[in-house]
Amino acid sequence: MDMEVTAWMSLHHAMNAKNDSRPFSRATLARISRFARPHRRLLVAFLLLSVVMAVLAVATPVLAGRVVNAIVDHSDSSIVIRLAILIAVLALAEGGLGLLNRWLSARIGEGLILDLRTAVFDHVQRMPVAFFTRTRTGALVSRLNNDVIGAQRAFSDTLSGVVSNLVTLLLTFAVMVGISWQITLLALLLLPVFVLPARRMGTRLARLEREAAAHDAAMSTQMTERFSAPGATLVKLFGRPSRESAEFAARARRVRDIGVRTAMVQHVFITALTMVSALALALVYGLGGWFSLRGDLDAGAVVALALLLTRLYAPLTALASARVEVMSALVSFERVFEVLDLEPLVAEKPEPRTVPDGPVAVEFDRVRFAYPSADKVSLASLEEVATLDTRGGVEVLHEVSFRAEPGQTVALVGSSGAGKSTIAQLLPRLYDADSGAVRIGGVDVRDLSFASIRDTLGMVTQDGHLFHESIRDNLLLARPEATEEELWDVLRRARLDTLIKGLPDGLDTIVGERGYRLSGGERQRLTIARLLLARQRVVILDEATAHLDSTSEAAVQEALAEALDGRTAVVIAHRLSTVRAADLILVVEAGRIVERGTHTELLAAGGRYAELYRTQFADQPPLEPVA
């Protein structure tokens, strides 16, 4: 390793040094050890190999010095040949062990990334919907990427670096002192000239890098939002493309300017430290040569000192930043553990029950519910705010009670924000009721397993969300083992088979982000087809036909009538025309059921339902009497 490489290492450590003076957390270290335990054998082998490689790194300069002495002393040529062969063997061994060491490092690091990412991903999947409504997706993804990788470096880079650098430093220092303590002492006096500029320049470069990263993040956010289908549509309708372009160009120019400044600062720094390294080597050769000419030091020792010098500076500069690197890794671990420590509000019991076989009833028994406050479901760092919003706990459902018998259809109608969707979200345990009980098949949903709820209950939401995958993949999400014939059957029943057959790739057509390559009606019918494929015994339709035109709505209603036959259904609708045939209609206002009955009964009662009905159909002409 030459002095220029050492300079780059010093600059790298200084740039990545974060001013974090927080104390080591024993609890964090204990949790890290639990994650490291499955890899302990590889870790031990990795550390031992690092020590062996450090020894080999010091041995080569010493042997090179002996070769020089043998040549100067006109020793037997066999000695020089044996020493040269030994140096070659050590070089081959160092190269081979380096490959093995890199494999161990990669295996440990990537294994740790796998463990951490899997743990975070599985934990996040168990979080309630309230967590996702508050969390910024980018901040959460960053935990799975940047912070997990930062934590991984604690094992693959920092740990091995500390061990190998410490062994290399001690061995190199001992050998150099043994050869000439005077030259070693003078060489160490130049260390501050080497390290201090690195720390100072590194801080300056780190500031530039952070500013550039901030601008890059802003550009990425702008591109992500503007390049999505709804974002691009919004800009075209209401935005000003010239202003968008100017904002993006201003940030891009700033990143360019920072890049130029960073390149120049780096070059000046490396040039300066290369000069310092030249002075250090000049000192060794000059003072060592003088000692050699006086007979106090042989020529081989001078060469060994010069070679060992670089192996002294590199570990010293690396160890100077070791604590900072360890603290940075601990910060990454703590940010990962912060997510893992957020307990899900909705949890499965240790020994959950299953829904009984056969048709099932749905029952709400005096249910009260308030949306949880942010401190119970989220983290300030994931919302990217200074402090969490403490508001919450305001009750939105009050003593809600009703029962849908097996095979019945119960409709929820009422004003926007009345609590209809909230009622529907309690059935699949997207949230849990604060008091009372929600039952499926006579069993409280809090006593059921998540798998049993999923197998029993299906839901179509208003937005009709689809993944950026093929039509086939979006359908198979409901039932992975479904056959080709079953897929086409549900598409036919959802009145989509003709459309899909007309596409060039058929079922393998990619629907685009959130399904935006399809029209609103097509997207919604595809989600209904997915529901039909799942064959669940309880169905929730939350404004399932909201985005359909009259023709599509009629077709889907026909398909839904077939699909809902014999199944228990809870239907939320603003269009009262879609729920007139329901067995029971519940009028929800301000979190309470204010009316209940059939369409005919509620119209005759002349209450809130009749008012809603008259409002929706006020502009329609009265029916002509039949002649």
Helix (H, G, I), strand (E, B) or coil at 407: coil
Task: Compute the residue count for the chain.
Answer: 627
Mean pLDDT of 196-220: 67
- Residue 618: pLDDT band (50, 70, 90) is low
Residue 597 has a pLDDT of 92
Mean pLDDT of 163-174: 80
* Strongest mean pLDDT among 323-332, 533-542, 568-577, 596-605: 596-605
Query: At which residue do the structure tokens 């300030």 appear?
Result: 380
The Cα-based distances of 586 to 1, 289, 359, 579, 594 in angstroms read: 79, 100, 22, 11, 8
State if pTM tops 0.95.
Answer: no
pLDDT tens readout for residues 383-424: 666 566 666 678 899 999 999 999 899 999 988 888 898 999
Mean pLDDT of 585-591: 92
Residue 447 has a pLDDT of 93
Contacts (Cβ under 8 Å, ≥6 apart) of 309:
176, 187, 280, 281, 284
Report d(CA 109, CA 46) in Å as an integer. Answer: 11
Q: Does residue 284 surpass a pLDDT of 90?
A: no
Nearest CA-CA partner of 395 in 361, 416, 367, 414: 367
The Cα-based distances of 518 to 229, 500, 545 in angstroms read: 12, 11, 15
Q: Compute φ and ψ for 107, nearest 5 degrees.
A: -65, -45
- Residue 492: pLDDT band (50, 70, 90) is confident
Q: Does residue 340 surpass a pLDDT of 90?
A: no
Contact between residue 354 and residue 442 where contact means Cβ atoms under 8 Å apart:
no
Q: Does residue 430 surpass a pLDDT of 70?
A: yes
Residue 463 has a pLDDT of 72
Task: Name the H helices within 341-465.
Answer: 374-377, 380-383, 420-426, 450-456
Residue 268 has a pLDDT of 73
pLDDT tens readout for residues 24-73: 567 777 777 887 888 888 888 888 888 888 888 888 888 888 888 788 77
Q: Over the chain, what is the mean pLDDT?
A: 79
Contacts (Cβ under 8 Å, ≥6 apart) of 596:
402, 584, 585, 586, 587
- Residue 341: pLDDT band (50, 70, 90) is confident
- Residue 136: pLDDT band (50, 70, 90) is confident
Residue 435 has a pLDDT of 92
Contact between residue 299 and residue 72 where contact means Cβ atoms under 8 Å apart:
yes
DSSP notation for 499-567: HHHTSTTGGG-B--GGGTTS-HHHHHHHHHHHHHHHT-SEEEEESTTTT--HHHHHHHHHHHHHHTTTS
* Strongest mean pLDDT among 109-123, 132-146, 326-340: 109-123
Q: Does residue 586 surpass a pLDDT of 90?
A: yes
| Domain range list for the chain | 3-340, 362-616
Query: At which residue do the structure tokens 């043998």 appear?
Result: 70
- Residue 120: pLDDT band (50, 70, 90) is confident
Contact between residue 162 and residue 259 where contact means Cβ atoms under 8 Å apart:
no
Report d(CA 598, CA 38) in Å as an integer. Answer: 62
Tell me the sheet residues that pair with 363: 403, 439
Both tokens assigned to 581: 């045939």
Q: Report CA 598 to chain centroid distance, whole Å.
A: 48
Both tokens assigned to 139: 């901040």
Mean pLDDT of 218-243: 70
Q: Does residue 191 surpass a pLDDT of 60?
A: yes
Residue 387 has a pLDDT of 65
Full strand arrangement of the beta sheet holding 584-589? 457-460, 538-542, 568-572, 409-414, 584-589, 592-597
- Residue 87: pLDDT band (50, 70, 90) is confident
Q: Does residue 522 surpass a pLDDT of 60?
A: yes
Contacts (Cβ under 8 Å, ≥6 apart) of 334:
25, 28
Both tokens assigned to 449: 């397993």
**Superfamily in which the 3-340 domain is placed by CATH:** ABC transporter type 1, transmembrane domain (1.20.1560.10)
Query: At which residue do the structure tokens 């595809």 appear?
Result: 526
CATH entry, 362-616, from 3.20.20.70, 3.40.50.300, 3.40.50.20, 3.40.50.11270: 3.40.50.300
Instruction: Name which residue leads in pLDDT, 292 or 481.
Output: 481
Virtual CA dihedral for 48, 51, 57, 58, nearest 10 degrees?
Answer: -140
- Residue 623: pLDDT band (50, 70, 90) is very low
- Residue 589: pLDDT band (50, 70, 90) is very high
Contact between residue 561 and residue 573 where contact means Cβ atoms under 8 Å apart:
no
> Between helices 299-320 and 3-15, what is the axis angle to 10°?
10
Report d(CA 396, CA 393) in Å as an integer. Answer: 9
Both tokens assigned to 262: 């960073």
Residue 21 has a pLDDT of 45
Residue 596 has a pLDDT of 92
Q: Does residue 365 surpass a pLDDT of 90?
A: yes
Residue 290 has a pLDDT of 85
Q: Does residue 624 surpass a pLDDT of 50?
A: no
